[in-house]
Amino acid sequence: MFSASRTTKSSSTMPPPPEGHELPVFFQFAREPLNRARLDRLKNKYSFYSSEKRERKLTRLKKVCKAYLAYYEDDKNIKNTHGYVQCCEIGGICYLKDIPSPESQLVDPFYMQVRRCQT
């Protein structure tokens, strides 16, 4: 019987995913009512990450949360959604003011991006 070894790319040789790839995944469940079991599973998953990976994931989560909170800022029912509680309990971002705006297209409103390009 023929046996061939498979070659796989290591994660260190793969290019980093483009900024914003997390948004569709996050928004898939973000507007759903809070599901405590799903949130607990996600928290548990974070506890098993290495400190480096956890920090990387939290940085991405904070960018996505800022976009989520900016988009739904005026929604009165946002605090009962899975996305809000995930941002607040895991990411530590319960309000837009909770994180400073780094140089990222995900967190700056469009008018700020345009203004920056014009100067």
List, as one string, the DSSP characters of 69-97. Answer: HHHTTT-TTGGGBHHHHHHHHTS--SSGG
Which residue's structure tokens are 């971002």? 93
What's the average model confidence in pLDDT over 3-7? 50
* pTM (two decimals): 0.66
Q: CA-to-CA distance for 48 and 64, rounded, in angstroms?
A: 21
Contacts of 54 (CB under 8 A, 6+ apart): 46
pLDDT band at 11 (very low <50, low <70, confident <90, very high): low
pLDDT band at 110 (very low <50, low <70, confident <90, very high): low
Which residue's structure tokens are 């469940």? 29
Which residue's structure tokens are 């895991």? 90
- Percent of the chain scoring above 70 in pLDDT: 66
